[in-house]
Structure 1
Amino acid sequence: MKEKFLILIAFILVCQPVIAQPMDKPTLVVVIAVDQLRRDRLHDDFPGGLGRLIRHGKVFAAARTNHANTSTCPGHAVMLTGVNPAKAGIPGNRYIDRQSWESRYCVDDDDTANRVFGAESNRSPKNLLVTTLGDWLKAANKNSRVFAVGGKDRSAIILGGHDADGVYWFDSSQGLFTSSRYYLDQLPGYIRDFNGSEPLQDGFLSRLPEYWEHAPGNLREDDFSGESDEFGRTSGHPIRRGALQEIADQVYHSPFVDTASLDLARLVVECESLGQRGSIDLLAVALSASDSIGHLYGPFSAESDDALKNVDLMLGKFLAFLDEAVGKGNYVVALSSDHGVAEIPEWSIENDRLQCPVASGRASQYILGAKMYWYLYRNFTFPFGNPASLVKNSAYSVNSSYARERGIEPNDVIVGIKVLLEDQLYVKRAWTLKDVMGDDSEVARLYRNSYVEGKGGDLFLQLEPSCFLTRKGASHGTPYDFDRDIPLIFYGKAIPPGVSGEMAHSVDIATTLADFLGIPAPAHVDGRLLMLR
């Protein structure tokens, strides 16, 4: 059923393709980030694009992230900056600004000049403190062009860098692909045509089915305990049911957001003549369905299995398109992920491998928050103070100004919270900044790579393996192997196929590609040079 959504015939005539001519070196770099993709979910018998990359590309079989906070924004930031989140200035998807004491989103922007088209929010890469591969490419050759497309704003914006020519993402609040005035004054005509003037009648949404039908899973039955029931737990999940806002949310939590992202990526290549103008161009594609679906159902569900099959199918068609439009020997691909994910504890229990000391594998973040705030009230803010003004629960950040104004020593608060957290059965350790900076363990090193001065909390919460603070579905964000193990594949011109056991990290991607393309990378990079030849 998904086959017909691969090529949107209505848009083929919008841009005239350029006949590919063989070049001496690659003219297009394609970076594909598949959100929440564990390395152990890939195998070489995929029939489509994933299988092609695995069989004919250079596979780094021991690849991992090199930081502890394994979430989307830092995971994408390291790929094309070549630095760990600590230098990139991106500690997480959200963080506490220690000066303003406000919760900030990693790609938000106070400047209304960078307003999102059709929305009330502002978006830009200004919180990213370093440059990216696309920025280096454009500095080396003013004719190079850089574009990013994705299912999430943060993924596309961070991959696009500071000097991108266009960055487009699916906005589930509007049900269309949009951008920000940071990049351009208005959306290009081909993006507006792709969205449609009436999205449900003449845009890409109009070509989607009413329901997402999928096969039973390879590993477990479709309806499994612990899965979210937000969009149903069995095949037949709604896609085009309800009003536009509801439909957009349904699409975001389905494989069709990846289908649309790759369709749009194809359109960008065609309409911008990427890889066809004699210079080296960059296209980053951030596929988000594995993450939105994985959070609902877990990585080994029928839904996640179908989402990955869709990536394989769509990617195969996209590569075939690049073979024709750019030339089979004229482009290179790097594929990786921002992070992995833990399997849902109910599946761990069934397979007798639950490591969490809590029998169900799940605890309540709300109960934990209530315990903490009651502790803070009794010990620090009684009778009239507000414990929520003293500590931000989400990041365990102590408001030092608020504390000192009331004669409270901030370190006493930090130590008290640490003791309370570590008293919970499901908490392995609550790391203070002093712990992180003074410990020589591997976990402490990973937390150091995630810490950003002025944006970090006062404690890093490390749960026991397999423990969740959610009622349903799966999660990530820990320094454990299941969250850090990711695929890393390079494919294309002058890259011989093979499997390398060399330790590799996602932070090595930009450094390696820059060397491969013969462009200089900044001296401050953390990434190592991987041997592709």
Structure 2
Amino acid sequence: MSKLFKTLSALALTGAMLQAGVIRAQKTLDRPKLVVGIVVDQMRWDYLYRYYDRYEGGGFKRMLGEGFSCENTFITHLPSFTAVGHSTIYTGSVPAIHGITGNDWTDQVTGRHWYCTEDTTVQPVGTTTDAGKMSPRNLLATTITDELKLATNFRSKVVGVSLKDRASILPAGHMANGAFWLDDSNGSFVTSSFYMKELPEWVKTFNARQLPATLMSKPWSPLYPINTYVQSTADDMPWEGTFKGETAATFPHNMPDIYKTDKGSLRSTPSGNTLTLEFAKAAIDGYQLGAGAVTDFLTINCASTDYVGHKYGPNSIEVEDTYLRLDKDLSAFLRYLDQRVGKGNYLVFLSADHGAAHSVGFMKENAMPAGLPDGKMLSGLNSLLQERFGAEKLALTSENYHIGFDHKTIAAKQLDFEAIKKLTVQYLQRLPGVQFAADMDNLGNSSLPAPIREMASNGYNPKRCGSVIVIPEPGWYSGSAKGTTHGNWNPYDTHLPLVFMGWHIKHGATNEVVSMADIAPTIAAMLHIQMPNGAVGKPVQAVMKQ
């Protein structure tokens, strides 16, 4: 073969590859100016459509109308709690690997109780309370936000925002420029010395506005005439909670008086989401996010949907009103991004950390099975274990649907731990409302159905979880008879919204099953950066093909 022929063949091959898109000639790597992750706390998937007819055009409807929706996105771990969900979204991993097994847990080696973002080595910034003694050090894996920092040699800016410390800190990762959360004691956004020694001037300026007091200066009344809330039950139901000082769960809620004695009450109103998104705008301006030569990342958690849901339950007018107001706030925020960063220059995704069960009272009134487990479960178990093994309080904890044991006593008395766990499983499975119990160290031989067994395994970190897991019957959960909660494998707790919109996203939807752990790998693939170091999820091909 002549040299000329070889050269011509190579040129032809290169041309064919260019035409096929295998090689793309471009001066710089194509990335968005800003990625915004919005996680709406306790947002069940069906809320996208339950209130759809009343959403305005620029919020949820805009995201669904312009974006790409993954309609069957599920949590694939247990339990389905706040800190766990946020960590999973941003690490692309599962609790067994990233280590955030609950909002709090008991260390199975030392017996010490830990809050998920607790850090005794840091100091509060912007407050004098322990609300500032927080960091991401308990998170064992990197996040997609960490990987963006690494990919750009730390030139990218990353900021986390939420009313909740854990929902700001964990998504922002280990190398964030800042993570900020609300301290109820002074009505200000604060941080910790993990990130900085002093609040930035823009945060001080925002706090000086005293926006929480302004937002709480008016009663919480329905956005629309109360008789138009046809997707909800009556205004006052026996399973709904109340604010301190209230005698009934009815509108209007007298927030000016309530807020005087309960500064945390703002969280349980739609105003908490308004405050969060206003602070997010200030963060974009303050850090000039999306204005530099590399991609920046802003993580936002709208937490008030969770507080309102816990207090009133999914079928309340309060929850419906909260989502209608959030829709308006979201619409305004997206317009702000259009103006500040430029439409098409930012990539936004919206999801949730978990869903929520219907209130037990609501379920029972409508002839559906539901209930609350016996609150004396642990004491009854310990009585049985003491009778059989001759030692008191061998079962120490019942948290995150796991039973933890006194390993020191078991070892000192040379008790048969396998026999203790076996008896524990037998006892638990006889209790009302308990569908399954299983020894996590012998999960393969348990009676758990395969899908639930995999979720249990994904959530099990032996240093941070008790050795026996409890799976309630559908409609049963550990919590209060007022309002609702979450934490279980059922679709009402684990079926989540996931919508991508903006940069390189075309309109569409898929009904393929997607894992919460797939979100970070999808973002990584779109940005052409490495996925987090504990990631087990995979890019969502339906999004990538758009």
Q: TM-score with structure 2 length normalisation?
A: 0.86
Partner of 1:463: 472
Aligned mate of 2:206, from 194, 211, 230: 194
**How much has 1:89 moved relative to structure 2?**
0.8
Q: Distance in 2 between matches of 1:127 and 1:68?
A: 18
Any idea what SS the aligned residue of 1:514 has? helix
The 3 A distance-change label for structure 1 pair 243 and 54 is: closer
Partner of 1:223: 236
Whether 2:47 is the aligned partner of 1:41: answer yes
The 3 A distance-change label for structure 1 pair 364 and 255 is: farther
**How much has 1:287 moved relative to structure 2?**
0.7
1:306-359: per-residue Cα shift (whole Å, max 9, x none)? 11112111010000011001101110101000111111122223333x133xxx
The answer as to whether partners of 1:138 and 1:144 remain within 8 angstroms in 2 is yes
Aligned mate of 1:255, from 246, 270, 275: 270
The answer as to whether partners of 1:115 and 1:182 remain within 8 angstroms in 2 is no
Tell me whether 459-468 or 315-324 shows the greater mean CA deviation. Answer: 459-468
Question: Counterparts in 2 of 1:499-514, with a 5 A limit?
Answer: 499-514=509-524
Question: Counterparts in 2 of 1:351-430, with a 5 A limit?
Answer: 351-352=366-367, 354-356=368-370, 361-365=371-375, 367-381=376-390, 385=392, 387=393, 390-394=395-399, 395-430=402-437
Whether 2:460 is the aligned partner of 1:448: answer no
Q: Distance in 1 between matches of 2:404 and 2:508?
A: 46
Partner of 1:107: 117
The answer as to whether partners of 1:437 and 1:448 remain within 8 angstroms in 2 is no
Any idea what SS the aligned residue of 1:212 has? coil
Any idea what SS the aligned residue of 1:125 has? coil
Whether 2:242 is the aligned partner of 1:236: answer no
Q: Distance in 2 between matches of 1:523 and 1:188?
A: 31
Partner of 2:8: none
Aligned mate of 2:492, from 475, 479, 482: 482
- 2:333 alignment partner AA: F
Any idea what SS the aligned residue of 1:396 has? strand
Q: Distance in 1 between matches of 2:214 and 2:232?
A: 33
1:427-469: per-residue Cα shift (whole Å, max 9, x none)? 0011211343445711000011101131111111111111133
The 3 A distance-change label for structure 1 pair 405 and 146 is: same
Any idea what SS the aligned residue of 2:411 has? helix
Aligned mate of 2:98, from 85, 88, 91: 88
The aligned length equals: 496
Give the number of the structure whose alpha-carbon radius of gyration is greater: 2
Partner of 1:16: none
The answer as to whether partners of 1:39 and 1:487 remain within 8 angstroms in 2 is yes
Q: Distance in 2 between matches of 1:135 and 1:184?
A: 17
Question: Counterparts in 2 of 1:248-327, with a 5 A limit?
Answer: 248-327=263-342
Tell me whether 185-194 or 123-132 shows the greater mean CA deviation. Answer: 185-194
Partner of 1:11: none
Partner of 1:165: 177
Q: Distance in 1 between matches of 2:344 and 2:451?
A: 41
Q: Distance in 1 between matches of 2:221 and 2:317?
A: 11
Structure 1: state its 5+ residue gaps.
1-22
Q: Distance in 1 between matches of 2:407 and 2:249?
A: 45
- 1:148 alignment partner AA: G
The 3 A distance-change label for structure 1 pair 74 and 437 is: farther
**How much has 1:113 moved relative to structure 2?**
4.8
Q: Cα RMSD between the aligned structures?
A: 2.1
**How much has 1:368 moved relative to structure 2?**
2.4
Q: Distance in 1 between matches of 2:379 and 2:486?
A: 23
- 1:436 alignment partner AA: L
**How much has 1:376 moved relative to structure 2?**
3.8
Partner of 1:5: none
**How much has 1:364 moved relative to structure 2?**
3.8
Any idea what SS the aligned residue of 1:393 has? strand
The answer as to whether partners of 2:98 and 2:534 remain within 8 angstroms in 1 is no
Any idea what SS the aligned residue of 1:213 has? coil
Any idea what SS the aligned residue of 2:513 has? coil
The 3 A distance-change label for structure 1 pair 38 and 190 is: same
**How much has 1:82 moved relative to structure 2?**
1.0
After the TM superposition, which segments of 4 or more aligned residues of structure 1 sit over 4 Å from their partners?
A: 113-116, 437-440
The 3 A distance-change label for structure 1 pair 393 and 52 is: same
**How much has 1:381 moved relative to structure 2?**
4.9
- 1:448 alignment partner AA: S
The answer as to whether partners of 2:118 and 2:135 remain within 8 angstroms in 1 is yes
- 1:355 alignment partner AA: P
**How much has 1:518 moved relative to structure 2?**
1.7
Partner of 1:206: 214
Q: TM-score with structure 1 length normalisation?
A: 0.88
The 3 A distance-change label for structure 1 pair 317 and 152 is: same
The 3 A distance-change label for structure 1 pair 368 and 241 is: same
The answer as to whether partners of 1:330 and 1:493 remain within 8 angstroms in 2 is yes
The answer as to whether partners of 1:193 and 1:203 remain within 8 angstroms in 2 is no
The answer as to whether partners of 1:156 and 1:286 remain within 8 angstroms in 2 is yes
Any idea what SS the aligned residue of 1:128 has? coil
Whether 2:138 is the aligned partner of 1:127: answer yes
Q: Distance in 2 between matches of 1:497 and 1:491?
A: 8
The answer as to whether partners of 2:522 and 2:538 remain within 8 angstroms in 1 is yes
The 3 A distance-change label for structure 1 pair 347 and 471 is: closer
The answer as to whether partners of 1:432 and 1:460 remain within 8 angstroms in 2 is yes
Q: Distance in 2 between matches of 1:266 and 1:80?
A: 21
Partner of 2:356: 341
Question: Counterparts in 2 of 1:43-82, with a 5 A limit?
Answer: 43=49, 44-45=52-53, 46-47=55-56, 48-82=58-92
The answer as to whether partners of 1:168 and 1:179 remain within 8 angstroms in 2 is yes
1:5-50: per-residue Cα shift (whole Å, max 9, x none)? xxxxxxxxxxxxxxxxxx9641000000001111011125421411
Any idea what SS the aligned residue of 2:106 has? strand
Q: Distance in 1 between matches of 2:510 and 2:31?
A: 24
Partner of 1:7: none
